[in-house]
Amino acid sequence: MAQFDMPLPDLERYAPEIEEPDDFDDFWAGTLAEARTFDAAPAVERVDTGLTQVLVDDVTFPGFGGHPVKAWLTRPAHADGDLPVVVEYLGYGGGRGLPYDHLQWAAAGYAHLVMDTRGQGSGWGAGGGTPDPVGSGPASPGFMTRGVLDPHEHYYRRVFTDGVRAVDAVRAIAGLDPERVAVTGGSQGGGITIAVAGLVPDVVAAMPDVPFLCHYRRAVSITDAMPYGEITKYLSVHRGPEVEAQVWRTFSYLDGVSFARRARTPGLFSTALMDATCPPSTVYAAYNGWAAGQADVAREIDVYPYNMHEGGGDYRFPRKLEWLGATL
Amino acid sequence: MAQFDMPLPDLERYAPEIEEPDDFDDFWAGTLAEARTFDAAPAVERVDTGLTQVLVDDVTFPGFGGHPVKAWLTRPAHADGDLPVVVEYLGYGGGRGLPYDHLQWAAAGYAHLVMDTRGQGSGWGAGGGTPDPVGSGPASPGFMTRGVLDPHEHYYRRVFTDGVRAVDAVRAIAGLDPERVAVTGGSQGGGITIAVAGLVPDVVAAMPDVPFLCHYRRAVSITDAMPYGEITKYLSVHRGPEVEAQVWRTFSYLDGVSFARRARTPGLFSTALMDATCPPSTVYAAYNGWAAGQADVAREIDVYPYNMHEGGGDYRFPRKLEWLGATL
Amino acid sequence: MAQFDMPLPDLERYAPEIEEPDDFDDFWAGTLAEARTFDAAPAVERVDTGLTQVLVDDVTFPGFGGHPVKAWLTRPAHADGDLPVVVEYLGYGGGRGLPYDHLQWAAAGYAHLVMDTRGQGSGWGAGGGTPDPVGSGPASPGFMTRGVLDPHEHYYRRVFTDGVRAVDAVRAIAGLDPERVAVTGGSQGGGITIAVAGLVPDVVAAMPDVPFLCHYRRAVSITDAMPYGEITKYLSVHRGPEVEAQVWRTFSYLDGVSFARRARTPGLFSTALMDATCPPSTVYAAYNGWAAGQADVAREIDVYPYNMHEGGGDYRFPRKLEWLGATL
Amino acid sequence: MAQFDMPLPDLERYAPEIEEPDDFDDFWAGTLAEARTFDAAPAVERVDTGLTQVLVDDVTFPGFGGHPVKAWLTRPAHADGDLPVVVEYLGYGGGRGLPYDHLQWAAAGYAHLVMDTRGQGSGWGAGGGTPDPVGSGPASPGFMTRGVLDPHEHYYRRVFTDGVRAVDAVRAIAGLDPERVAVTGGSQGGGITIAVAGLVPDVVAAMPDVPFLCHYRRAVSITDAMPYGEITKYLSVHRGPEVEAQVWRTFSYLDGVSFARRARTPGLFSTALMDATCPPSTVYAAYNGWAAGQADVAREIDVYPYNMHEGGGDYRFPRKLEWLGATL
Amino acid sequence: MAQFDMPLPDLERYAPEIEEPDDFDDFWAGTLAEARTFDAAPAVERVDTGLTQVLVDDVTFPGFGGHPVKAWLTRPAHADGDLPVVVEYLGYGGGRGLPYDHLQWAAAGYAHLVMDTRGQGSGWGAGGGTPDPVGSGPASPGFMTRGVLDPHEHYYRRVFTDGVRAVDAVRAIAGLDPERVAVTGGSQGGGITIAVAGLVPDVVAAMPDVPFLCHYRRAVSITDAMPYGEITKYLSVHRGPEVEAQVWRTFSYLDGVSFARRARTPGLFSTALMDATCPPSTVYAAYNGWAAGQADVAREIDVYPYNMHEGGGDYRFPRKLEWLGATL
Amino acid sequence: MAQFDMPLPDLERYAPEIEEPDDFDDFWAGTLAEARTFDAAPAVERVDTGLTQVLVDDVTFPGFGGHPVKAWLTRPAHADGDLPVVVEYLGYGGGRGLPYDHLQWAAAGYAHLVMDTRGQGSGWGAGGGTPDPVGSGPASPGFMTRGVLDPHEHYYRRVFTDGVRAVDAVRAIAGLDPERVAVTGGSQGGGITIAVAGLVPDVVAAMPDVPFLCHYRRAVSITDAMPYGEITKYLSVHRGPEVEAQVWRTFSYLDGVSFARRARTPGLFSTALMDATCPPSTVYAAYNGWAAGQADVAREIDVYPYNMHEGGGDYRFPRKLEWLGATL
């Protein structure tokens, strides 16, 4: 059915209990500490793009394990002073592509860094350039179940760490204002946005659109769409309560709901009521938990009643531009 | 099958005879003359977009029948002298959307005008704003068969005229260089590009990507994909040789192959060998006829062997930027 | 799921509040008054069909705006006295086709007029012959959203008016009994049937099958099937609460539930429990509102538990023949 | 691809060698002789339909094995003298349905008998009423492979015999002219039409539309559409050259190409160039063989270039009415 | 949706009232008595398979009506004493195939008989060899509605009887232990398993996996998947309350829920929560009714939360091997 | 179309030129030499399966890079002398599953080792247990393009090496005859079989079924089915002649056609004419090149004209059992 998830009033109240391990914070503190031991400065190379109004740098920074992660940094050719920065994470399967595809924030006077998602970037668009040098046990096609039997091995432990390190990287680049770094992204990029906001509480704003990677267990029970469906496929082959328990335990270290609770920065979400890829109840589970217990942290959510996973689409940029301007 | 059309060497030689009516040039001369009797200057209204590096104007110009046609004009905030202009036409079903979606050419120092396609803009993207105030006889869903029984009534007579009038409009706007107007577009936008290049021989360059609206009859015989399939659907209901003859006669006034022959400006095409929407043989039929008999008119075509209708995708902009820079 | 809408007992009680504008009756009174200023008599031309038992006339009558609307009138070759008449409206996308496809009512001793739906008739069947000379703003492919931002401009304002004028037309044709005019149709034709019954209270009977065009808002929330899905598509592109409010306001002038309440003639409905195109709850919303407050107006509904949108199919004609015979 | 089979000029010349067993004629002479030993007169019961212009009889006649076969006989209520008769056979999966669905020929002054296809009639429409009391070995879902290992056991041996016995039956019913019996049908009904024309050379005309059951072997090699695909499915499970040889041998007794060669009556065919269900080359294989060696036997074929299996659709009745009138 | 049926806690309590005719037991007692009048001993022919560790017999036994039914009997080449036997029934559309596909139970020291399902075996796999010599009235493609208007004529009356006679057969074969016969099967084979367990209370164990043929009426209301969907198709054509009542009455003699209640042997079920072919609520309806009123009869059910109709797949054999070993 | 590739007579002659690098043999000699430096003996652990007639060992052997690769070894419980061995490789996406699924060869008196395909085993079946500890650059979902820019990095370099090391492993296990090791597998397993036969010329027989991984370039041009389509997807994103050239160069080290030419052992192939996954021309390209220049090396191919990728299915085991018995 079209609006297949809960009715909107129920969504607005939806605050499920989810499994959260006791050592969640230790797990992530350790992970980030280890990653930050690889503390090389980001490599920043100016690129000749033919563009006259926008400066483009090809950035390489050390991510999880010190692995090199690629990003494009764009900024206006005509600017004064240190620029506020928007760090953007990408949707599932895509890569940073070409710098010509990321000009909006620069046109609005911001610096913008778009980070590759390691190993991704051959599914759509113009390609990614960042390997994931870590192998895995048997996994269903895609990335969701790589390392699914151990949270230390899981693919998204590496990706979320890359996301944090991207913020670290922009804070080290000349001409950018380390006090004014916002994070954003759609779908998988929205999930990473939430994770980074939970792990780096002093980013100035978080703007996740139709975020993925939230409340996995509910997602799997109400939709068979990919990529949540990769988990279903894995569990449909690796049957049995032990495997199932371990899979959910692994994801309990990676759930956007838990990250959202730890956020301490204003949040602007969006969701779509016909979105079977990232069902609205999974988005609201994170949104309703945002900055748990901190009533003074602003949050807003835009609801698109007639959209599927494309959500607000092109309408999101001006909306976020205005909101971020007001927030900074 | 994957590469379902002719092998590439055959494509490179493919130069089919197509039906072209004796009064083709008269038909279009009359059409344009009549349209130009509606000679109001384009309305150009500056829009507050929040962008700091790009100026945006909301343009309304008189199209076919003097009907108001909407467009976005973008240009760099920091520029000297009259700017070269790229006029862009859109793919089937989309509208001009929001100005934030059209920043590439401005970032490269060009003015850029993107024209709504009348009546379209509710199929994908962020919407169009241009009505088509002309009704039609029974037509299959979509635009291909509106007015299909009479070339004077056909929808694309109006659209191609709008395309010509868009060039007229930018030539009348202050700050733009009327001698350096190029045209471009993908799919339907590529078809309009070819038509405008055939009707306005002094545009400085034409850059159609995976163009639609070429060699309709072959298209219908080798693919059942939409929107060429709208013609099939029409003829599947309105059966009989008389209707069929009239339909093909109508399209003989609207065929990209005939427009391409009349072009007198350098052309940069692209096509994809797995493109079932705009099969490569229909593209080559136009490409191989480009500027017929004018060996000195440059033309190039980029072939994407592994792509469907997305063709070169994001790779097209830098390719066109470089080619256009060299051509101007 | 198979029977995806409400359980039957709930359907039987389903009487939702729907938005109805205060000036609903004025809107339609004005619309019909204006249409009736085009008061030419219907043109009736006898057609040589090769049939020996049925007389066929090609009828053209003035519809909305006085635009010519085509219809086939069939009646038995052997008949005495003025005939009762069944006016039939067509399903979405089809046209009146050929007169050979409409022989049932004539074979049963009735006159039968089947009206083209303007602009339709190229989607299936044997074609329509009635243009819709009115253009529109951007609309998703199909007819549902043509003029959707203003009830005066909406496509179905014209079609419902044509439907009323078809009744006016048969009442002016010799040999037909103006006191015994019934209306019927399936799907879109059922929606028009309900509208005409609400606007022309003195038709003698209304027989809508699996009617479309009822309770649009619920339809859009529970099914993504076309053509209701055209509204979803429109709203998915033209995002935002203002557009949404205007769209629903426009449809509030066109809702079968409001027309049904105004009916004053016996009604025979049908619905199917697996019908995702015209979900049973939207049909019951109209059925349960039929002749609101008039307990003496007979109504019946036949429920097909195992059918999709085909509903009762061929079983409907004998059922309606018997019911209508008993009603007249 | 859209027009996926041979180009039309090749189709017009296509006259393949097909396997035909030496005892083909003996097989069928024996089959019919045996069936005619069940020589009960057809039961003809007048039905009260509510129709005033058409008389309807519920006919039961002895088919293969003397099994009762149901049919509807319709004729004009107002008629003089013995009527010419059109016997019609049905498409795959359907049944005779309700008599209200078969009024065209009666409206044109003909008697019309529509025969159930044994065992079918639960796939679409309003149902059939004729059992097939004969079981079979393992068969893929459907009817094509019931008894496929022995031509004596094959389902279509029974059906074609029923078709012949339907002609015998109408020749025995009062008020019908036994000298003027034509046969027609679409798809499966077209295949039966060809078979009956080959087995009963003195029918006065045969009008098969988009006929099925012709040149099975080519069909299976160029299309995977059902129902030819049932043969593919059977052979995909029952693998091996012996089974394959037996299957093709069985069908060699049942091939429309062989029946067509034996026809001695004028034939009006139709085919559609986008018909993947009954590909045009299989139709032309029969058409080009029609009345082999009898140059004076008239034949015509109507080609629908833009249609799939619906072929000429509603346009067929007036075309056949005119052609049959000229032929009689 | 993914887990589309009831939540697991509701499933565990689900015990619906279903229609059960008063003469259910008489119907089946009579049916079996009549079948057992065909009391020929099973024919057992040793087959040369090239296998050295497993002995294979080609078994033919008299089923319903004494019709010959084929089966493979496999047993270990190295064994002492009379062997316990597992009788297995097959999923819908398949046949016994080749003996090489049934080696698991023999490898574990059991005799194993796999029974053809009459008329089936051309849909997938390596083929069946058992005809169903009984014809039927019109039926939708497949087996579900053959004879659906009379329980005496229904296809599954014959199949269930064959299933009982298979148990009778193995009890008559030398080297097999007639006291230790278990029954099993998946999907259709699970449905037959339940029926046989209800009709032959002294089998020692029953192991139905994802069983089909249980609570037909609910199945049809919540899924449109085949083969339950064959019933829907039949009722969608043969419309009306009388036909519907008769269809459900016929199935009331064939419902796994009623058979389950009569079982008196331990049962091991399995079901999958994403199984739209045999929805879990229909499985639980039988499971919760197993051995009604006999609290001492053991039953277990394994639930696969992330599987569709494949259920436990390859994991079932070791699970059943262990459970059966403990049960015997 | 059904039999969409070349006609059979053309297939039988099809011997395309394919790109083969000069250092092909050096590349593989170096690869195997390096792998064999990890020369630990295979770990062989007896498993308690509940089976009485078959002995099962859980085998772990060092594959590429010395990485542990899992396999099941089954053999008859009752056997004398060293057993001949069949090594089997698996189809794409599956894992070794449970030992109960691999009993056929043991039942026939052979030892049988089924090797996990590293990283696979979560797509279907009962799971794999072998990680691929090597990461990769961006790749389309699946395994085909992992490391596609460098033959040293490509996934199948590792897998083919694992395949060779599996043969090495069985030759080191007691009770198995190192002189009588045959290799087999279907689809991906067939591709590995061919590779191993080309790299280990003294295996005694090779039996690839519907092999994958042959003539990649033709495959991509004639089918869009996965997994060959993963290459298409990669090239559709990573556009341009340089990338394309590198991709094809990488595959030139991995092409079954080149391995087939180097085979020196009898080969039994199978292919299916409707197989769009591994089109028959790609299979024949390898088959026709088998043991190039060695006329005395026996080869046979079984053709299944009516099958898709399932090919000969269950019929393959007895065919291979008989052929292998005759070959040994």
Each as own residue / partner, the long-range contacts of residues F299-302 (CB below 8 Å, 24 or more positions apart, any chain) are F299/F266, F299/F267, F299/F268, F299/F269, F300/F267, F300/F268, F300/F269, F301/F268, F301/F269, F301/F270, F301/F271, F302/F268, F302/F269, F302/F270, F302/F271
pLDDT tens digits, one per residue of B244-290: 999 999 999 999 999 999 999 999 999 999 999 999 999 999 999 99
D1 occurs within a structural domain:
no
Query: Which candidate from F120, F129, F138 shows the least CB-CB separation from A127?
Result: F138
Buried b (16+ CB within 10 A) or exposed e, C90-113: bbbbbbbbbbbbbbbbbbbbbbbb
Which are the catalytic amino acids of F?
Answer: 187, 275, 309
pLDDT tens per residue across span D151-202: 999 999 999 999 999 999 999 999 999 999 999 999 999 999 999 999 999 9
Q: What's the start-to-end Cα distance of chain A, in Å? A: 40
Burial of D26 (0-12, 13-18, 19+ CB in 10 A): exposed
Check whether F313 has a pLDDT greater than 80. Answer: yes
What local confidence, expressed as pLDDT, does residue F62 receive? 98
Contact E257, E289 (CB under 8 A): yes
pLDDT digit string (tens) for A273-315?
999 999 999 999 999 999 999 999 999 999 999 999 999 999 9
Q: Cβ of A1 and C235 within 8 Å? A: no
F143 pLDDT above the threshold of 70: yes
Is pTM, for the whole model, over 0.95? yes
Residues 6+ apart with CB under 8 A from E296: none
CB contact under 8 A, A104 and B108: no
The subunits that touch chain A, with at least 3 C-beta pairs less than 8 Å apart, are B, C, E, F
Residue C21 above 80 pLDDT? yes
* D122-141 pLDDT per residue, tens: 989 999 999 999 999 999 99
Residue type, C170: V
Per CB-CB distance under 8 Å, the chain E contacts of C307 are 236, 239
Q: HSE-up of B235 (CA within 13 Å, CB side)?
A: 29
Closest-CA residue of chain C to B116: C138
Residues of D in contact with C97 (CB under 8 A): 314
Q: Which two tokens stand for residue F48?
A: 């308690």
**pLDDT reading at B91 higher than 90:** yes
Express as a percent the part of chain B with pLDDT over 70.
100
Give me the sign of the Cα torsion angle F282, F283, F285, F291: positive
Give the model's confidence band at C79: pLDDT under 50 very low, under 70 low, under 90 confident, else very high.
Answer: confident
Task: Say if residue F112's pLDDT is above 80.
Answer: yes
Structure tokens at C51: 């049939």
Kindly list the residues from chain D whose CB atom is less than 8 angstroms away from the CB atom of residue C125.
Answer: 313-314
- Assess whether chains A and D touch, using the rule of 3 or more C-beta pairs within 8 angstroms: no
CB of C235 within 8 Å of any CB in chain A? Answer: yes
Cis peptide before F227 (omega within 30 of 0): yes
B near D: at least 3 beta-carbon pairs less than 8 Å apart: yes
Residue C268 in any domain: the answer is yes
Burial class (CB in 10 A: 0-12, 13-18, 19+), B278: buried
Q: Give the mean pLDDT of F285-293.
A: 97
> Residue A186's closest CA among A220, A213, A161?
A213
pLDDT of residue E1: 63
Q: What is the pLDDT of residue D1?
A: 63
Cross-strand bridge partners of residue A68: A62
Does B56 fall in a domain? yes
Q: Low-confidence residues of chain A, pLDDT below 50?
A: none
Q: Do B318 and A49 touch (CB under 8 A)?
A: yes
**Residue of E223, E239, E244, E275 to mutate, testing the C interface (most C Cβ within 10 Å of its Cβ):** E239
| ipTM exceeding cut-off 0.90 for this assembly | yes
Active site residue E309: yes
pLDDT over 80 at C1, yes or no = no
Number of domains in chain D: 1
Contact B281, B14 (CB under 8 A): yes
Q: Grade residue F1 by pLDDT with cuts at 50, 70 and 90.
A: low
The DSSP-derived string for C194-234 is: HHHHHH-TT-SEEEEES--SS-HHHHHHH---TTHHHHHHH
Q: Which two tokens stand for residue B91?
A: 């793919």
pLDDT band at C107 (very low <50, low <70, confident <90, very high): very high
Is the CB of residue D129 less than 8 Å away from at least one CB of chain C? Answer: no
Asked whether residue A2 is assigned to any structural domain, the reply reads no
Reported confidence tier of residue C252, pLDDT bands at 50, 70, 90: very high
For residue B1, pLDDT over 70 is answered with no
**Are F90 and F120 within 8 A, CB to CB?**
yes
D71-124 tens-digit pLDDT: 999 999 998 899 999 999 999 999 999 999 999 999 999 999 999 999 999 989
Looking at the predicted structure, is the pLDDT value of residue C164 above 70?
yes
Is there a domain that residue B1 lies in? no
Kindly report the CATH number assigned to the domain that includes residue C95.
3.40.50.1820
For residue C314, what are the contacts with CB-CB under 8 A and spacing of at least 6?
Answer: D97, D98, D100, D101, D125, D126
By 3-state DSSP, what share of chain B in percent is helix, strand and coil, each rounded to 5? 35, 20, 45
CA dist., res. F60 & res. F166, Å (int)? 10
Which of A220, A221, A239 is the closest to E304 by Cβ?
A239
Compute the half-sphere exposure of residue E107: CA atoms within 13 Å on the CB side of its CA: 30
Residues B153-209 pLDDT 10s:
999 999 999 999 999 999 999 999 999 999 999 999 999 999 999 999 999 999 999
The beta-carbon neighbor of D2 closest among B220, B239, B240 is B220
Across the interface, whether the CB atoms of D121 and E93 are under 8 A apart is answered no
Q: Is F315 part of the contact surface with chain D (CB cutoff 8 Å)? A: yes
As to burial, measured by CB atoms within 10 angstroms (0-12 exposed, 13-18 middle, 19+ buried), residue B296 is exposed
Instruction: Please answer whether residues B194 and B282 qualify as being in contact, where contact means their C-beta atoms are separated by less than 8 angstroms.
Output: no
By the CB < 8 Å criterion, does E193 face chain C? no
What tokens does A152 get? 């230390």
pLDDT at B324 over 90: yes
How many angstroms separate the CA atoms of E127 and D236, rounded? Answer: 9
Per-10-residue mean pLDDT for chain E, 328 residues long? 92 96 98 97 97 98 98 95 98 97 97 98 93 97 97 98 98 98 98 98 97 98 96 97 97 98 98 98 98 96 98 98 96
Active site residues of A: 187, 275, 309
Alpha carbons A204 and C179: distance in angstroms, whole number: 75
Kindly list the distances between the CA atom of residue F290 and the CA atoms of A36, A45, C82, F265, in Å, as whole numbers in the listed order: 55, 51, 87, 9
Sorted by sequence, the CB contacts under 8 Å of residue D185 that are 6+ apart come out as D88, D89, D90, D91, D191, D192, D193, D208, D209
pLDDT at res. B53 = 97
Per the CB < 8 Å rule, is A145 touching F122? yes
| pLDDT at B214 > cutoff 80 | yes
Residue C141 C-alpha from the chain's centroid: 21
Q: How high is the pLDDT of residue D79?
A: 87
Active-site option among B67, B102, B187, B258: B187
pLDDT in tens, C257-309: 999 999 999 999 999 999 999 999 999 999 999 999 999 999 999 999 999 99
Residues on chain C touching B130 (C-beta within 8 angstroms): 137-138
Residue B2, domain member (yes or no): no
Residue F2 lies in a domain: no
The answer to whether the CB atoms of C129 and B138 lie below 8 A apart is yes
On whether residue B98 sits in a domain, the answer given is: yes
A215: left (phi > 0), else alpha (psi -120 to 50), else beta? left
What's the gap in Å between the CA of A168 and the closest CA on chain F?
A: 24
Residues spanned by the domain of D120: 8-327
Does C221 contact A at CB distance below 8 Å? Answer: yes
Among F110, B32, F120, which residue's Cα sits nearest to residue E100? Answer: F110
Nearest residue in chain D measured CA to CA from B2: D1
Pairing mode of beta strands C68-76, C54-62:
antiparallel
Residue B75 vs residues B53, B80, B176, E29: alpha-carbon distances, Å: 9, 11, 10, 89
Residue D92 is labelled as binding a ligand:
yes
